[in-house]
Amino acid sequence: MRSFKAFLQRNRGFIVFLLCMFMFRSAVADWNVVPSGSMLPTIRIGDRIFVNRAAYDLRVPFTHLSLYHVADPQRGDIVIADSSAAGERLVKRVIGVPGDVVALRQNVLWVNGQRASYQPAMVAGVAADRDNPASYASEDLGRLHHLVRLSRWPGPVSSFGPVAVPAGRYLLMGDNRDDSMDSRYFGFVPRDEIVGRTRYVAISLDPARHYLPRSGRFGASLD
């Protein structure tokens, strides 16, 4: 016990620094490793994304308790959610906000009776999937202006709705429309489970090249 107290006294400054760092990461800013391709082509496997945890709320560190409401997620935001329904942390795009009526028809998005427009797009630097070939398109509808990945063979949830997004809930989807576990499977996400927003890649390591850095991804903007 005496040696432990001595250890604490000798390393008091370092321990305080670690505590402050963990509190900062919990409440203000953090970074997440993206291990899956559910947000391709916007976010690539191996990206480390910067997370603004104060974008929507200032929270008590290590909790979901909001001390100060900053803003609400907007359609098109890429958000981080601690989903109790999915049982894991998610990185998805906000497609429907409270009050929206959303439908998908063979991967064509409709929001509040308006149809998204699609234009074919070329994406460099994304490895081809021989087992599930895909094309890319820009999806444009109001605040939504981003690329989506569309498989040659649409998945089981390429059509749904229309559904009305309830108050205090959000409909989240991945940009990789046919390979994303999202609100189409586990339902609307409560507002208090959305813990931050991301707009930039911090660093990116390519698992296909022995985790060498992708130089063009440093600080890349996520649209």
pLDDT in tens, the chain (223 residues): 566 555 446 655 544 444 444 444 444 446 567 778 899 999 999 999 989 888 999 887 767 778 889 999 999 999 999 999 999 999 999 999 999 999 999 999 999 999 999 999 988 767 666 656 789 999 999 889 999 999 887 888 999 999 999 999 999 999 999 999 999 999 999 999 999 999 999 889 898 888 898 988 988 999 7
pTM, two decimal places: 0.86
What CATH number has the domain bearing residue 204? 2.10.109.10
Contact 203, 222 (CB under 8 A): no
Domain span holding position 89? 2-217
Q: Is residue 222 part of a domain?
A: no
Q: Is residue 97 part of a domain?
A: yes
Number of domains in the chain: 1
